[in-house]
Amino acid sequence: MNKIPLVNLGAQYKSICSEVQMAIQRVLDNGSFIQGPEVKAFEESFGELIGTNALGVASGTAALFLGLKAIGVGPGDEVITTGHTFIATVEAIEQCGAIPILVDIDPKTYNINADLIETAISPKTKAVIAVHLYGLPANLFQIKEICDRHKIHLIEDAAQAHLAKIEKKYVGSIGDVGCFSFYPGKNLGAYGDAGAVTSSEPKIFEMIRMLRDHGRTTKYEHQYWGFGERLDGIQAAILGVKIKHLKSWTQKRQEHASNYTKMLKNVDVITPFVPGGFEHVYHLYVIRTKKRDLLLSKLKSQEIEAGIHYPIPIHMQPCYINSKFPKISLPETEKAAKEILSIPIYPELTLEEQTRIVNIIKETV
Ligand SMILES: *Cc1c(COP(=O)(O)O)cnc(C)c1O
């Protein structure tokens, strides 16, 4: 029986390999390895797609870090975010010398519970990072209203949510700063590390442009103490090829998700919940069951790769548990971590593969 991977980058590469090879060759020929015309062209098309302005950076982590720096987050400041995310969200806060304040999730969406944000705000709060986890937008309308009322910044961690929408607006175009990752397995993935920052605020945008490139204003003049977090030409050229397919790949993910949800309708697992007016892009298709560990091992024994995003909440990670968050408890986050399971989803997934996966789920739960 064929193995079904969690993500299938090989299948995607096969469908675009000649375009990708030509794009890489172009960079090798013109020698623009750092920034240069390919980066500029990709920034323009990504910004246009999202409906704002975009800057290429070295990774999603760099995007978060530079976004926080550009709005002035520094030592002693507090930044509110969720305890149920990839650790990079929280690392970026720490890299600024600021203090992460973790709040619990809404167990229906797995995103930050907007009702809990207000009580976490203190005079030191500088920003909220809303993570659009799994490809489902966080409740930005409520979060934005809270941020505006308290005059704090809203940063979107859209690393998993390219082309996800709230009321027809793409995520990354709603907060002060949007942060995207093009890690290879993301919905839009490079063939190495890459990321982008989006912002409609000219001041923030120009600051990030300088900070990513050693605080430069001109070749030899450094206005700020900056960083080396630029996007390289080869990755930008590859992304320039892939961005043309992103809408159709996203649609495929959504079709597969809708198939899963239909097939699992009368099965004792919780399927993803999408609030009205929100559009999910299914970076991950996450189900929930008390029999998670059993199901995971059954799938594995049938050569089906599944994953847990994430099994250890941030505040319980070894690097934190004894220091930063010794006392906090996030009950919904902790409960979800024991019951969630990401099953394979990628544009090239077939109905046959989905049926095989669903059958194992049915037999197990
Ligand atoms: C992938 C990811 C990041 C980090 O992106 P990198 O490109 O790997 O640095 C940040 N936040 C979330 C939610 C992610 O999924």
pLDDT in tens, 214-227: 999 999 999 999 99
What distance in Å separates the CA atoms of residue 216 and residue 300, rounded to the nearest whole number? 50
pLDDT at 77: 97
Q: Which residues does 149 contact at the CB level (< 8 Å), separation at least 6?
A: none
- Nearest CA residue ID for atom 10, ligand 1: 88
Q: How does DSSP classify residue 342?
A: E
Residue 15: pLDDT band (50, 70, 90) is very high
Q: Which residues does 25 contact at the CB level (< 8 Å), separation at least 6?
A: none
User: 179 and 158 in contact (C-beta within 8 Å)?
Assistant: yes
- Residue 194 CA to ligand 1 centre (angstroms): 10
Other beta carbons within 10 angstroms of residue 65's beta carbon come to 28
Residue 195 has pLDDT above 90, yes or no: yes
Q: Which residue from 78, 116, 66 is spatially nearest to 230, judged by alpha carbons?
A: 66
- Residue 88 CA to ligand 1 centre (angstroms): 6
What is the spatial order of strands in the sheet that 153-157 belongs to?
A: 53-57, 195-199, 177-181, 153-157, 125-131, 78-82, 99-103
What are 319-364's pLDDT values in tens digits? 887 676 667 899 999 999 999 999 999 999 999 999 999 999 999 9
- Residue 69 CA to ligand 1 centre (angstroms): 17
Ramachandran region, residue 192 (left: φ > 0; alpha: ψ -120 to 50; beta: rest): left
pLDDT average, residue stretch 142-171 = 98
Helices (H) and strands (E) in the chain, counts: 13, 14
Taking the CA of residue 92 as reference, the ligand 1 atom at the shortest distance is 10
Largest CA distance in the chain: 65
- Residue 159 CA to ligand 1 centre (angstroms): 5
CA dihedral 229, 239, 85, 349 (to 10 degrees): -160
What distance in Å separates the CA atoms of residue 337 and residue 313, rounded to the nearest whole number? 7
- ∠ CA(36), CA(37), CA(43), 5° rounding? 95
Residue 66 has pLDDT above 70, yes or no: yes
Taking the CA of residue 132 as reference, the ligand 1 atom at the shortest distance is 13
pLDDT at 35: 87
Q: Which residues does 207 contact at the CB level (< 8 Å), separation at least 6?
A: 69, 70, 224
- Determine the residue of 65, 160, 308 to mutate for testing ligand 1's pocket, defined as the one with the most ligand atoms within 8 A of the Cβ atom: 160
What distance in Å separates the CA atoms of residue 20 and residue 312, rounded to the nearest whole number? 37
Report in angstroms the alpha-carbon separations of 1 from 4, 216, 232, 301.
Answer: 9, 55, 40, 11
Q: Which residue from 20, 1, 27, 9 is spatially nearest to 244, judged by alpha carbons?
A: 20
Residue 140 has pLDDT above 90, yes or no: yes
Would the pTM count as exceeding 0.85? yes
pLDDT at 322: 67
What are 275-312's pLDDT values in tens digits? 999 999 999 999 999 999 999 999 999 999 999 999 99
Could you give the 3-state DSSP secondary structure of residue 165? strand
H/E stretch holding 236 reads: helix 233-242
pLDDT average, residue stretch 25-35 = 95
User: 148 and 123 in contact (C-beta within 8 Å)?
Assistant: no
Ligand 1 lining (C-beta closer than 6 Å): 59-61, 85-86, 88-89, 131, 157, 159-160, 181, 183, 193, 195
Q: Which residue from 7, 33, 2, 5 is spatially nearest to 189, judged by alpha carbons?
A: 7
